[in-house]
Structure 1
């Protein structure tokens, strides 16, 4: 899903920026003020994102401590490390973000911060759960957004499981919207990371033509236990029957 994922992300950002008329001016004071609005206890790094070009303008050096990435990492290289099961959430949240800010009056676009979480792989190959927060840094007179300021905080110890969640937090007295439901335009791809070690073993034996009884004998499991694994595999992959499951496993290289 990686090429599709990154291309779709750039498409959404292009819609957000549209034909923004970019003005060049210093916003150092704005950054310090907005960092206070975004602050979250824990280890974090911050960044300035060029929405129109889909690239980072600046990343603070703490990214190296938290994720092991260099400060000159490209956005697309960064995004590709997001957990495969969280990539659709990321796209759906970004699309919801686009719709939310498009409906806001121009004078209120900088009065909200966006907050959601996702898992991302660090340089050692371990997944870290990040709380992603951002505010609009600059927009043109028509409200087209072209710069945002974000903070990524490591919340791995605070949230160890559960689906990512999106909220819009009102600033300066504006109302907040917590756990916003997003349209499921993008859906999770099935990857090997979705299956447990035992489920992979059962699936491999099914693909080899083994029955539940034979699979149980090979893995030293009861037929009932194997049948339960089969039900879980069908449910996880949304497969109608065992033949459909095995065919898809072969076609999509799950084995």
Structure 2
């Protein structure tokens, strides 16, 4: 499993072109906040991320409502650790694709695209929620590349689906939806199917095979087959050990 996501993220951001020297003079965080309050589809928080410096310069207090973490304790290193293990490769592959995309545009065009992708992140209570990560560039020069980031809880809208990257064009620029990205980062560990995760989740809730079969409307034989396959994939010695591994590694 990818472990040092923050380190890989910094390597990606270190490749950002240093030649551009532009600032979005029309950006007003107060105006954006008012618009967000009107149009957002769920609870959200916003940040200013200095990508060049790998540092969050602003985190809005709403983060405590969305993720349960106090503003002062939240930084990029913590954020990287909170990404769901199964979504880490998507997260890093998306950021690598973003770096390549913005290397192909210049000047005012840098401000005419919104990056948008989703992934799961761990709440302070230990459960995962799905966030929609959206950001725009507001400054780009040799010393600072600042982005305005909005992360919205969309768990009620999208569940157990593959993360998707899109570039949304602004002021007449074309949009690119569900972008294919290079498979640079991969999961090194057991890959459980969606149904296996369903079974594992119900086992973790304290149900036995027969109860799981009734909840999921599948046969007990199918549940037992899933359990056997998961034990083999995870090299766990028992269901209890497999459940502990699932919580520790974020499989459910």
TM range (shorter): 0.7 to 0.9
Aligned position for 1:58: 58
Aligned position for 1:249: 235
Distance 2:152 2:101 in 1: 23
* Superposition deviation, residue 21 in structure 1: 8.0
Asked if structure 1 preserves the Cα contact closer than 8 Å seen for 2:64 and 2:70, the reply is yes
Aligned position for 2:206: none
Aligned position for 1:81: 82
Asked if structure 2 preserves the Cα contact closer than 8 Å seen for 1:34 and 1:135, the reply is no
Distance 2:20 2:169 in 1: 26
Aligned position for 2:126: 125
3-state SS, counterpart of residue 47 of structure 2: strand
* Superposition deviation, residue 20 in structure 1: 6.4
1:188 has 2:190 as partner: no
Cα 1:11–1:34 shift into 2, 3 Å: farther
- Give structure 2 stretches of 5+ with no counterpart: 202-219, 246-252
3-state SS, counterpart of residue 85 of structure 1: helix
Aligned position for 2:175: 176
Distance 2:61 2:121 in 1: 18
Aligned position for 1:157: 156
Distance 1:30 1:93 in 2: 27
Distance 1:108 1:192 in 2: 39
3-state SS, counterpart of residue 64 of structure 2: helix
1:1-255 equivalences under 5 Å are: 1=1, 3-16=3-16, 18-19=17-18, 29-34=27-32, 40-72=40-72, 73-140=74-141, 146-190=145-189, 196=197, 233=230, 249=235
Distance 1:22 1:187 in 2: 34
Pairwise CA RMSD: 3.7
Asked if structure 1 preserves the Cα contact closer than 8 Å seen for 2:136 and 2:149, the reply is yes
Cα 1:42–1:102 shift into 2, 3 Å: same
3-state SS, counterpart of residue 177 of structure 1: coil
Aligned position for 1:239: none
TM-score (ref. length: structure 1): 0.72
3-state SS, counterpart of residue 92 of structure 2: helix
User: How many residues are matched?
Assistant: 220
- Give structure 1 stretches of 5+ with no counterpart: 201-220, 234-241
Distance 1:100 1:41 in 2: 27
Asked if structure 1 preserves the Cα contact closer than 8 Å seen for 2:53 and 2:144, the reply is no
